[in-house]
Amino acid sequence: MTYANIIGLLGIAVLLLLMVLRMPIGIAMLLVGIVGFGMLNGWNAALAALGTYPYQYAAVYDFAVIPLFVLMGNLGSVSGMARDLYSAAYSWIGHVRGGLAHATILACAGFAAVSGSSVASAVTMGKVCLPEMRRYNYSHRLATGVIAAGGTLGILIPPSTAFVIYGLLTEQSIGRLLLAGILPGLLLTAIFMITVAIWMRFKPEYGPPGPRVDWKGRKESFVRALPMMSIVLVSIGGIYVGVFTPSEAAAVGAALAFGYALWRKSLGGGALSTILVETVNTTALVFLILIGALVFGPFLALSGLPEKIAQSLSGLDVPRVVILVLILSVYIVLGTFLEGFSMLVLTLPIVIPIMQALNYDLIWFGVIMVIVLEMGLIDPPVGINVFIVKGLVPDVPMTEIFAGILPFWFAMIVCIAILIMFPDIALLIPNTMIGK
């Protein structure tokens, strides 16, 4: 092992220590990256990098997609889109056993197409759907599990902040990544609904049927949900047909969401200022993490550690799928104690060279990575969606919530297995996009 390799290992060890000591991941990566860069390439070069990298990366045009999609999601939250989606889904299937849970999953999938955030999806849909499921005496396990798991769809179905960050860190097309999430997102939605149906087969008392809505009510609820569907169709469809770049699509989506919120008179009473502050705070946090990662990445590249690991793994006399499964297993374990974005920016500089050496498509792997991040959102003990749901229903024990999440966690494993066996599910839409 060379001197550079040793410095790389020490850098990773120090970074993990700083994270244990609760230093923000962005600052920790920035600090370790600059010190390591200086030790391997000279302190003048390190100081020059420190002076240029933050501005250089923050000024990248593609980064504009992040605040714009965040703004679109925040506008969607206050304009009542979540309730409209839930009402539309409920009107069609709420009368069957477990129907409110099915409607919640569909509403989460629909709201994910606006929010791009699992946290926003879990909070918003939890406030809308949990009271209804409790009113109809749904099991605490089923109600909380559906909200926590359904909320994770927010980072798989486009627009997705996770795909944007993955694309920026791996230099992959953000447009192709966003489109790659559509069919896997629909697949996971269907698997979640199948999971609920199986649950109802064995525990029918967990999900009593709700009242049936007549055809007039179904039509009215569908019409109310049309504006949200139109925003998604224009922004994501524009990327597919080559009319918009991802940044332009995000701007159009945010403008349409703003217009809809104005029409619904949802921006009064300080709501607009709250939305703008939340957007700035989220954007600043994401940018800090990204800048830290983009400084830490060159340090790892200089250390030669990613290439060495990639050569060692690709040289093993085992099928490449075995190595893939081992890597995903490590990610699942890391997800039990690392926050998703932190795990993403910390590990990609090491994992991507391995995927390239094994000739895996990086767009497809991005979809797999996002689903693994979703699993981390409901993994104990860190699973942030679990704590969000707990905050909404403080009287429900954590053990009940985790018991409700478990079937959906295994459903994600099934989804990953299907995508490994049939990778074209993720690649079909991006491979047929116009102007690719």
Helix H, strand E, coil C: the string for 176-187 is HHHHHCHHHHHH
Cα 191 to Cα 244: distance, rounded to the nearest angstrom:
31
Region of 16 please: left (phi>0), alpha (psi -120 to 50) or beta.
Answer: alpha
Phi, psi of 67 (to 5 degrees): -65, -30
Average confidence (pLDDT) per 10 residues, the chain, 436 residues: 84 85 84 87 80 74 82 83 84 88 90 78 83 88 92 86 86 90 95 95 89 87 86 86 86 90 85 89 83 81 78 77 90 77 80 89 94 84 79 87 92 96 94 68
pLDDT of 245 reads 86
CB atoms within 10 A of CB 84: 24
pLDDT of 434 reads 59
Cα 49 to Cα 27: distance, rounded to the nearest angstrom:
15
Residue type at 398 in one-letter notation: M
Cα 389 to Cα 57: distance, rounded to the nearest angstrom:
35
Residue 432, H or E segment: helix 424-432
Nearest to residue 161, comparing CAs of 71, 256, 58?
71
pLDDT of 349 reads 84
pLDDT of 139 reads 92
Cα 259 to Cα 227: distance, rounded to the nearest angstrom:
10
Residue 33, H or E segment: helix 25-41
DSSP string of 232-282, one letter each residue: HHHHHHHHHTTS--HHHHHHHHHHHHHHHHHHTT-STTTHHHHHHHHHHHH
Tell me the whole-structure pTM to 2 decimals.
Answer: 0.85
CB atoms within 10 A of CB 394: 6
Joined tokens for residue 363 = 């767009």
pLDDT digits (tens, 9 = 90+) for 361-387: 999 999 999 999 888 888 876 677 888
Joined tokens for residue 219 = 């039509």
pLDDT of 436 reads 52
Joined tokens for residue 422 = 């049939």
CB-based contact 153:189 (threshold 8 Å): yes
Nearest to residue 183, comparing CAs of 431, 436, 435, 434?
431
pLDDT of 382 reads 65
90 CB-near residues (< 8 Å, 6+ apart): 99, 100, 103, 132, 210, 213, 221
The residue with tokens 């593609």 is 62
Cα 367 to Cα 182: distance, rounded to the nearest angstrom:
10
CB atoms within 10 A of CB 28: 22
CB-based contact 358:365 (threshold 8 Å): no
CB-based contact 404:141 (threshold 8 Å): yes
Burial group, residue 309, by CB count within 10 angstroms (0-12, 13-18, 19+):
middle
pLDDT of 231 reads 87
**Interhelix angle 182-202/398-421, nearest 10 degrees:** 130
**Interhelix angle 362-378/161-170, nearest 10 degrees:** 130
214 DSSP assignment:
P
Joined tokens for residue 408 = 């959906």
CB-based contact 361:370 (threshold 8 Å): no
Angle at 311 between CA 305 and CA 316, to 5 degrees: 130
Cα 181 to Cα 144: distance, rounded to the nearest angstrom:
25
